[in-house]
Each structure stands twice: as structure tokens, then as C-alpha cells.
Amino acid sequence: MSDQTFKAYVVDETDENVFVRNIKSRSLTDLPDGGVLVKVHYSSLNYKDALSATGNKGVTKNFPHTPGVDASGVVEESSDDRFSIGQEVIVHGYDLGCNTSGGFGEYIRVPADWVVRLPSGLSLRESMIYGTAGYTAAYSVLRLQEFGVNPDMGEILVTGATGGVGSVAVAILAKSGYQVVASTGKADQEEFLLNLGAKEVISREDSKDESGRPLLRGRWAGAVDTVGGEILATAIKSTKKLGVVTCCGNVASAELPINVYPFILRGVSLVGIDSQDSPMKLRQQIWDKISNEWKLDQLEQLTTEITLHELDSNIELILQGKQRGRVVINLSK
């Protein structure tokens, strides 16, 4: 089947450094070497995919390229005994969709060490409702718990709460018994967040302190920050003694205007979340939790399903900060 063709969403770079996006026919011989060939059933849209699709060289250096940092599907070929033909699997992170042809194509070929078995209790489609964003949210909650933050300790702040990571984090935390306060710049999405389990919704402006004070009144037992910048700094300065803040995004800013006082006077912990290169043992642990105790009742409320032909408009939405929840791409349509 080496000469088989398939459709893929391809980003090309022109001589004028302009990036154009089209659905094209590709051959399996165009794919990189790897131990496992997967027929992709579903993918999902993440902010990193949008950056790759618009030619961000910090994400993708060489074009033409097929983005898609997430994929779920069925093994078609495998040179590794850990995976058999017909097995349902998930691939996310590592170099997939960055400089390795990604999930916006009907096939991917990747190293076996990148492949996660699909846990029982989770369908291929459901796995992509979570995708990298949901995995990152679950990873953040796991780290809060590992650092000893429990529901009895008080409120948990989630910033960027209508986005992919934020919305799943709100829902997982609420399902786990935490009091969740959701921060968003989208005032019209309060009902959406309350339905996910948030007990309160606050504005982006109320989440950002620009007074310059080194410490603020301690309110949060913990926080899941997805945006960075002043909002992350404010969350840290507003966290109670021995509280924990996780950090996984920089859509607001990569800079962190903070001093040492929350750390040396309150013992606040700032925990980084790197979902791209997390080890396989951890990946499988988190996916097993997602398929069991953290499987959400509101998955469909979180989800917009599209085809490859609808990617362009959704990429523009996510770049403009207007996307809500999770966008799943059905490669079978």
C-alpha cells in the first residue's frame, strides 16, 4: 500500500513568504519514516496548529507541511510488537504536527514510542474531544493533587476558561469536587462555564491586577493558568499560603512580571506543565484517568465537530481568541 494516496490539509510557502492552505492528495511515500502507520479517524484543533497553519517558524520550520498535533485512529502497519494491525491508538505531542506530518491528514507515520493505546471506556472521537488541550488540563489537575491541593482547601481559579485547556480543566475540577472560579474575556459565555461546573465566573479584567503591589489578598487554594502574563502574575500574588499554580500557556504574554514574595512569604508553588514531551508512563496514566474518573458528562457541550474543509475559518477563530471549547476534525467526512 506504499503508493496509496490520501487527502490532507497542506500548508505551502510561496516565494513571497506567503503561506497558503489547501486540501491536497498525498501519497504514503510522502510520510516520514516511522514504526507505526495510523489511519486517522479524528484530530482536533489547537492553538499550536493554528500557528503552524499560518507559517509560524517557531512551530514549523519546513513547508509544505500538514499540521495537527493530535490524532486518533487505527494501526494499519506496525514494525513494533507493542502495536498490532487494527488496534485503536492515540498520538499527540512530541513532534507530530510540528515538523512531522500531523493529524490533519488521513494517515500519519510515527515512531512507536509516540503511540498511546486507546484506553477502554474512551472512543476515538472522545479522545480527540480531549486531545492535547484536554490532556494538558488533566495533567494540570493531577499536579495540583500531587502537590496536596484538595477540595477542602478552597477555591481554584481557571484562567482562559472558555478555551480548550481551560474549559476541560473547569469540568474536571468540578467533577472532582473543587470549587471552581472561571476567568474569561467572553462575558457572553457565563452560562457555558456554569454548565461545565464553575461556581462563579469572573471577567478577565477582574483577574488582572496592575497596581504593582507585591502581594494581594490570598483567595485561591490553587490555579490553572492557560494564558500567562499579568493574569498569571496576579493569580500567583492572589494565591493563599502553600497554594499551587500551574502554568501551561502564553497567549497573553510569555513574560511573567512577578517578584519573589508569594514564594518566600506564602510558600506558593509555580508548576510548569509540558504536555508535548511528557513521558509515556505519565501519558498512559493520565489517559487512563481521563477514560475513567475524569470522563466528563458534558463532552458534547464542549465540542464543535468539523471537516477538513472547515478548518480555515476555525483557525481564524482560534487565532482571534474567539473559539470556545474543543474543535474535533472528522477525517472520515
The predicted model gives 254-258 an average pLDDT of 93
Flag whether pLDDT at 168 surpasses 80: yes
Residue type, 5: T
> HSE of 248 in the Cβ direction (CA atoms, 13 Å)?
33
Q: What is the pLDDT of residues 106-162, one digit of tens each?
A: 999 999 999 999 999 999 999 999 999 999 999 999 999 999 999 999 999 999 999
Flag whether pLDDT at 192 surpasses 70: yes
**pLDDT given at position 322:** 86
Q: Where in the chain is the domain with CATH 3.40.50.720?
A: 134-272
- C-beta separation of 10 from 21 below 8 A: yes
**pLDDT given at position 44:** 98
Q: What is the pLDDT of residues 62-85, one digit of tens each?
A: 999 999 999 999 999 999 999 999
**pLDDT given at position 1:** 61
Alpha-carbon distances, residue 185 vs 203, 266, 308, 324 (angstroms): 6, 29, 28, 11
Nearest in space to 251 (alpha carbons), one of 231, 237, 271: 231
- C-beta separation of 47 from 165 below 8 A: no
**Quick one: how far is CA 63 from the chain centroid?**
24
Provide φ and ψ at 140, rounded to 5°: -65, -45
At residue 32 the predicted structure's pLDDT band, cuts being 50, 70 and 90, is very high
Q: What is the pLDDT of residues 259-280, one digit of tens each?
A: 999 999 999 999 999 999 999 9
Q: Where in the chain is the domain with CATH 3.90.180.10?
A: 5-118+298-330
| Sequential DSSP letters for 188-240 | GGHHHHHHHT-SEEEETGGG---S--S-----EEEEEESSBHHHHHHHHHTEE
For residue 141, list its beta bridge partners.
none
Q: What is the pLDDT of residues 230-250, one digit of tens each?
A: 999 999 999 999 999 999 998
Flag whether pLDDT at 2 surpasses 70: no
Q: Across all residues in the chain, what is the average pLDDT?
A: 95
2 burial type by CB count under 10 A (0-12 exposed, 13-18 middle, 19+ buried): exposed
Q: What CATH class has 134-272?
A: alpha beta
Give the homologous superfamily in CATH for domain 5-118+298-330: Medium-chain alcohol dehydrogenases, catalytic domain (3.90.180.10)
**pLDDT given at position 15:** 78
**pLDDT given at position 130:** 97
Alpha-carbon dihedral of residues 291, 294, 296, 302, nearest 10 degrees?
A: -100
CB atoms within 10 A of CB 14: 9
> Cell numbers 501551561 correspond to what residue?
248
At 158 the three-state DSSP class reads: strand
- C-beta separation of 96 from 110 below 8 A: yes
Q: Mean pLDDT lowest for which of 2-16, 50-64, 105-119, 274-288?
A: 2-16
CB atoms within 10 A of CB 254: 9
**pLDDT given at position 236:** 98
